[in-house]
Amino acid sequence: VTETGPAAERSLATVLRFANLIAEVTGNVVPETRHELLREILSRRCRAAGFIEPGSYVEALIRGDLATEWDILVALITIKESYFFRAPQQYEALRKELLPRLVRSRAASRHLRIWSAACARGEEPATLAMVLAEESALAGWDWSILATDIDEEALSVARRGLYGERSVAQVPPALLERYFHPRGKLFELDSQLRARIDYRTLNLAHPPYATPFREYDLILLRNLLIYFSRPLQVKVVAEMRRILAPKGIVFLGASETLWPIQDELEPVDLGSCFCYRRRRVTTTGELSRAQIREAERQLALAASTPAEVKASRGHREGTEATPVAVPRPAGPLPLPATVSPPVGIQERLLAAARDLAANRVEEAAREIEQALAADPAEPAAHALEGFLHDLSARTEEAVSCYRAALYLDPALYQVRLLLADCLLRLGQRERAEHQYREVLASLDSGRERALLVFGVLPLLDRERALKRCHQALDRTGR
């Protein structure tokens, strides 16, 4: 297909170019399943802007000739799904646990700076404003909310503060009564509350960000990173960490996770949800760079002569557990050990694990796919596939893959722990608790096994897995 004539409208190359340009400018990676929609947008906008061929329209966009066109495109390609009190467990944790802490940390200055990054039509910052306005400890404080989005049209809706019934459906009746005024079929957000919110256009795809304040105590970065590529996610998180106050807190969307994209922010388990804070000194279960290097060395050794290396859990007492390779036995393993798939597949999976550790997601996906094609009954391949989905916030897909891995090898305690964490993030508390208990039982029995290929990834060792399970179960009161 050439870029001239009517066939150009259907040109895959033009659509891909358009998709790449959108990713470059806005950070949004439009998945292939939405390329048909993209094609329609392209042909519609091309005509509206006075071009005959989509190719010329894309070229004009690239040259920067159509600056105002981006306002329209952004509104068309971004997903604005949001509503008041979305993920109510996060607001509850904020009210009960986090705000009291923030109030203590800011007692001297009596100010709080909050940022709702990617605020859509303002449902999120307005929810925050209600929660803060209801907090008696903040009476007389100087608190304000920065609300930003790439989409100017969505922000102008937010500034007007008019919402439909569906948006406010989860607002508790008392708050609806106090902070909204009925306007026909709509609800108008109280102007005093709106005055606390500073609505601004900000494209998060190009750090560093010019925010009005140098640091923020609470940042909501919910349901945005899923649209970005892995390298951009890493950059955005690093920038958020820079802007986060030392005792500040970040919330992601309820089913999103940051670890192990990066290690600058660490998760804090709030029972019903997670938030993130700046990483404290290295008392977590993550491997240091040196330990990762050591694990890689061991793995390289194992890949060449797996039978020569004996499993010896505990032989590194006092350090993080570094995986040691053992040959795969014919029958069930008599002792807890680290397991490795056959050489060949093992090398492939090791490469995939290294790619994942270095955020080379596409390369990892290819390696895993080939490993699965070579041996669909290899638990490590399913586990890594789950990890890949987990990284990309596809929590439900991650759950299925972790389950497949555990079906093939139920003793893989780290995989079970990942599964439990995913279930918790999905709000499936009872199932998560069941899995945490299973991990404990397997660790108690001493029959747990770790996957060799997981050695290069920042997973919890035995001791820390124990701690994590107890912590998670304590949180839920079981």
Ligand X SMILES: C[S@@+](CC[C@H](N)C(=O)[O-])C[C@H]1O[C@@H](n2cnc3c(N)ncnc32)[C@H](O)[C@@H]1O
Answer yes or no whether residue 26 interacts with ligand X by CB under 6 A.
yes
Stretch that binds ligand X, among 48-56, 102-110, 200-208, 463-471 (CB under 6 A): 200-208
Please give the residues from 36 up to 75 whose contact with ligand X meets the rule CB under 6 A. Answer: none
Q: What angle do CA 11, 16, 22 make, to 5 degrees?
A: 130
The answer to whether 14 and 3 are in contact (CB under 8 A) is yes
Q: Does 317 bind ligand X (CB under 6 A)?
A: no
Q: Per rule CB under 6 A, is residue 211 in the interface with ligand X?
A: no
Nearer to ligand X, 227 or 402 (CB): 227
Among 15, 61, 102, 120, binds ligand X (CB under 6 A): 120
> Which residue is listed with tokens 């108008």?
188
For β-strands 186-189 and 180-183, DSSP reports them as: antiparallel
Among 41, 205, 218, 393, binds ligand X (CB under 6 A): 205
203 binds ligand X (CB under 6 A): yes
Residue 67 CB, nearest approach to ligand X (Å): 16
Q: Is 82 in the site for ligand X (CB under 6 A)?
A: yes
Specify the long-range contacts of residues 441-448, CB closer than 8 Å, at least 24 apart.
Answer: 442/410, 442/411, 442/413, 442/416, 443/413, 443/469, 446/335, 446/336, 447/333, 447/336, 447/411, 448/336, 448/411, 448/412, 448/413
- AA identity, residue 190: D
Question: Restricting to residues 405-434, which ones interact with ligand X according to CB under 6 A?
Answer: none
Q: How many CB atoms lie within 10 A of CB 247?
A: 13
Assess 256 for contact with ligand X (CB under 6 A): no
Q: Does 229 bind ligand X (CB under 6 A)?
A: no
Q: Which is nearer to ligand X, 74 or 287 (CB)?
A: 74
Q: What is the CA radius of gyration of the chain?
A: 25
CB of 153 to ligand X, least distance (A): 9
Draw the binding track, 147-176, toward ligand X (x: CB under 6 A; -: no contact).
Answer: --xxx--x----------------------
Burial letters 98-136, b for 16+ CB under 10 A, else e = bbeebbeebeeeeebbbbbbbbbbbbbbbbbbbbbbebe
Burial, 388: exposed, middle or buried (Cβ in 10 Å; 0-12, 13-18, 19+)?
buried
Minimum distance from residue 254 beta carbon to ligand X (Å):
9
- Select the span of 56-64, 77-85, 128-136, 359-367 touching ligand X (CB under 6 A): 77-85
Residues of this chain that bind ligand X (CB under 6 A): 26-28, 78-82, 86, 118-120, 124, 149-151, 154, 203-205, 222-224, 227, 253
